[in-house]
Structure 1
């Protein structure tokens, strides 16, 4: 802190005060002397070449300054609708300079600010600031503008039938996409800033009257308790607010699709949108939700049900196929037909490793190839992962390091993991596959059963914002199974999930001949 003329104190920025969140900075009011405000702000933005201070005079006599960050504000609109009208004023009401200035600015989004931290916040989101001599208030002008990505279908959640739009990195575009889906004033969006340095804008969206107020309060309180320097992606928040951070299973849903987020809102869930990322978080999360895909709600119900059964079946294949193969080959050869056993024995005749080591070699190689395909440029990534798997598999078989049946088992396992509609689910399966393989190599099928029991027991203890992970199955209610193992017809899904929404109000029309509109909104929660 230092002293300026007239015995008045001033803050010498940057100083230790700026090493804190803007919300915790001392509320330094704007001074009536404009030069003192300019000196404080220039000291704070020292060595910031993109911060523009444009000093001018209103009506040729009143000293004022326009402050904005080049690249975040719409400079053309600022020149046309702010600077030019103020420079051309001839008759100015000096008794109410601030109000007269606001009347001359032909921009709808005007807001009064009263302190230095308010100036920091407003210009950091792209709103230019006007400060006027002998005024202890400033004017924030809603003219932000920055480059943004065009709306397109998310690569990770593509569908054959369904909307072709996805969230982008701009928060207000994402909220508008949600508003286009749900055009009701009861769709509420609470905003807060998280991150001491980034001040990342986060919005909690929910439908009042459908979402449980306790759930909304819990999500909001967990977000408010976050103390961190910066939020650069939704993964930061997901890790900080989940109930069980050491569990391999995701406890919040993630999506880039507005239709999925809208469907979850109509179920009574809460959607968390974060500025700077297209990935939104949805709470609470259940195991059944992880195996639901958007297209389940756009295709006929019998097709969706068949595909969902296929997905459940291959979920177990992806998790247990290598372990079952190792267990049977090591301890339970009598379970195989004689001809098949002889074929496998012949293929393994020159293999120097036991089945467990062989499985580990192939699984780790396959995971490395898959990760390499993700990291490489798109033009060559897919080709490298597929060709690499074929070449390495064939070479390893010819060299006598692995057997042909093991290559086939690992390939089927890899294909099965690709059927998982959510990437986080596939990651969980890939992690758990290895400890189950170790148990199967040590104890056979008994080890596999021990692994399954441990996983199920762990999942039974999980909760996502108070909702049990297996809530659809325990306690068992047929009403809650309409969108779990099967996808019931829309006219049959006449109630919302009671464990998400405030109440499972019956939505069926009084007329039995009239089928009500969908309660889920379509999109795949």
Structure 2
């Protein structure tokens, strides 16, 4: 009894100590900087734990009075060339003025450096510890002056970044050959190159109480639905997490249905795809450190469309889209239909084919469902091994493994040749689905349909399809029905679904997604300041006089 009471008291003390520590930490972060530069350096080293990547450069400048200056930055996050050319070289050189004009006080020197010596575009004053530490870990270079209780934050971010390369998950024969990178600034600039309009608005925020990850919301003002934009901002502001490691964290927090297998938020790595969706009235969410932004709202048919469809002729693009939908049905129902026909409905199979299948299955020790399950799991193992292994080895393992295992399994009498053909055809059909999220959902749904087919035959498949369609109809993506424009039925929006009409016929944006400006012509809004009433009257009188 006493031990339990002691544990309770100790737990309460630890909680009180934690609260006191958090309050002290918050108070210290909100405190202003000290005018003693040694005290500031001691505090910085203590908070950062004497990190090895913290670079501290001390020097003196000014005449006839020597002022102690300290330059701070995180190694790897700052550009050393910018520091050397635009900060260090200018600060350590002599002043180009007389000694009588030399700043004698630290605050005078602070103003002089900020206004006359730093040849950088981004400079800000830092007065408290919270802002100083965030600027430091964000890649800025910090300047401290002995005797001054303020610091200068210099925008000299840099370091090693991945160059812009071709898309890896969404390749295209025609169209741009570039994809997003991990830099948020680079990604937003790539979108602006395609939409050269002041109506393209970029709103930034920071998510994650510890990581403080930069997030950008991009939309076209005048085209986006204000209700959609408000809903997106509200969901982002409700996120209470310590870390935001990528766009997948935001996707799981803000999506409408957590438990569904269907992807309700569209992802892409192509700038042209983002620009096209923004022009339809969607909202894009970019996360710093992630090359895959989020596009919302998303519809089911959107996952069977690619950016290359708009670079091909309309009839070729329509054929490819129809081919992808057929491949999706084969991927979802191929093995389950084979199981249902063999186990429950052999009378529906033509007699010559039935005789051939029966001869192949002679001596197979497993039921057809177990046989199909073994082959499906074997293929999934090969797929995962090919993805996780190094690329040259992974491709060889996938191809050789599939050939060797398939042939060996048939010769050993474990599976039939027809089952190998069905599983292989299903796998090939799954590769035609252009987006990974839809492919993964179809793989899981295929296993469920196989179980229903093994239990009830075609009746089980029919029941599963009814439940699947009903569930899909109930899903919404930020207020938009997931099966738009099929349910609800909007015939006018069918021009850019399974069949893509020629560009002149696509004169209107999707009705449910965009309710502000449906026509694709004209300005989204009048740019510049609105004219005053007197100017309007003067312009009208000038037009009347000209007409007279």
The reply to whether TM is greater than 0.5 is: yes
Cα 1:498–1:454 change in 2 (3 A) is same
Alignment of 1:185-196 (within 5 A): 185-196=198-209
Identify the residue that residue 32 of structure 1 maps to in structure 2: 35
Identify the residue that residue 243 of structure 1 maps to in structure 2: 256
Query: Unaligned regions of 5+ residues in structure 2, if any?
Result: 1-19, 523-548
Deviation per residue, 1:178-198 (Å, 9 max, x gap) = 111111111111111222332
Alignment of 1:269-348 (within 5 A): 269-348=282-361
Identify the residue that residue 516 of structure 2 maps to in structure 1: 503
Equivalent of residue 54 in structure 1, options 36, 47, 57: 57
Measured after TM superposition, the shift of residue 31 of structure 1 is 2.4
What secondary structure sits across from 1:251 in the alignment?
A: coil
Query: Mean alpha-carbon deviation: is it higher for 413-422 or for 277-286?
Result: 277-286
Identify the residue that residue 479 of structure 2 maps to in structure 1: 466
The whole-number CA distance in structure 2 between the counterparts of 1:487 and 1:508 is: 19
Contact map agreement 1:321 1:409 (CA 8 A) in 2: yes
Are 1:96 and 2:108 matched, yes or no?
Answer: yes
Identify the residue that residue 381 of structure 1 maps to in structure 2: 394
Deviation per residue, 1:395-437 (Å, 9 max, x gap) = 1111111111111111110011001010111100000111111
What secondary structure sits across from 1:162 in the alignment?
A: coil
Measured after TM superposition, the shift of residue 217 of structure 1 is 2.1
Identify the residue that residue 447 of structure 1 maps to in structure 2: 460
What secondary structure sits across from 2:176 in the alignment?
A: coil
Deviation per residue, 1:298-339 (Å, 9 max, x gap) = 100000011111111111000001001101111111101111
Are 1:182 and 2:195 matched, yes or no?
Answer: yes
What secondary structure sits across from 1:412 in the alignment?
A: helix
Identify the residue that residue 74 of structure 1 maps to in structure 2: 79
What secondary structure sits across from 2:70 in the alignment?
A: strand
Equivalent of residue 475 in structure 1, options 462, 478, 488: 488
Identify the residue that residue 512 of structure 1 maps to in structure 2: none
Alignment of 1:36-435 (within 5 A): 36-59=39-62, 60-87=65-92, 88-89=94-95, 91-93=101-103, 94=105, 96-102=108-114, 103-435=116-448
The whole-number CA distance in structure 1 between the counterparts of 2:30 and 2:111 is: 24
Measured after TM superposition, the shift of residue 132 of structure 1 is 2.2
Contact map agreement 1:191 1:203 (CA 8 A) in 2: yes
Query: Mean alpha-carbon deviation: is it higher for 387-396 or for 421-430?
Result: 387-396
Query: Unaligned regions of 5+ residues in structure 1, if any?
Result: 1-14, 510-525
The whole-number CA distance in structure 2 between the counterparts of 1:92 and 1:453 is: 83
Measured after TM superposition, the shift of residue 17 of structure 1 is 4.3
Q: Count the aligned residue pairs.
A: 493
Identify the residue that residue 451 of structure 2 maps to in structure 1: 438
What secondary structure sits across from 1:454 in the alignment?
A: helix
What secondary structure sits across from 2:217 in the alignment?
A: strand
What secondary structure sits across from 1:155 in the alignment?
A: coil
| TM-score (normalised: structure 1) | 0.90
What secondary structure sits across from 1:131 in the alignment?
A: strand
Cα 1:137–1:501 change in 2 (3 A) is farther
Query: Mean alpha-carbon deviation: is it higher for 180-189 or for 77-86?
Result: 77-86
What secondary structure sits across from 1:249 in the alignment?
A: coil
Deviation per residue, 1:362-414 (Å, 9 max, x gap) = 11111111111111111121221122111111111111111111111111100
The whole-number CA distance in structure 2 between the counterparts of 1:506 and 1:199 is: 39
Measured after TM superposition, the shift of residue 150 of structure 1 is 1.3
Contact map agreement 2:202 2:216 (CA 8 A) in 1: yes
Contact map agreement 1:440 1:447 (CA 8 A) in 2: yes
The whole-number CA distance in structure 2 between the counterparts of 1:301 and 1:494 is: 15
Larger Rg computed on CA atoms: 2
Measured after TM superposition, the shift of residue 26 of structure 1 is 4.5
Query: Mean alpha-carbon deviation: is it higher for 226-235 or for 164-173?
Result: 226-235
The whole-number CA distance in structure 2 between the counterparts of 1:472 and 1:25 is: 55
Contact map agreement 2:493 2:510 (CA 8 A) in 1: yes
| Root-mean-square deviation over aligned CA pairs | 1.9
The whole-number CA distance in structure 2 between the counterparts of 1:331 and 1:430 is: 23
What secondary structure sits across from 1:63 in the alignment?
A: strand
Measured after TM superposition, the shift of residue 136 of structure 1 is 3.1
What secondary structure sits across from 2:149 in the alignment?
A: coil
Contact map agreement 2:29 2:128 (CA 8 A) in 1: no
What secondary structure sits across from 2:228 in the alignment?
A: helix
| Structure with more of its chain in helix, by fraction | 2
The whole-number CA distance in structure 2 between the counterparts of 1:112 and 1:508 is: 45
Measured after TM superposition, the shift of residue 96 of structure 1 is 3.3
Contact map agreement 2:136 2:142 (CA 8 A) in 1: yes
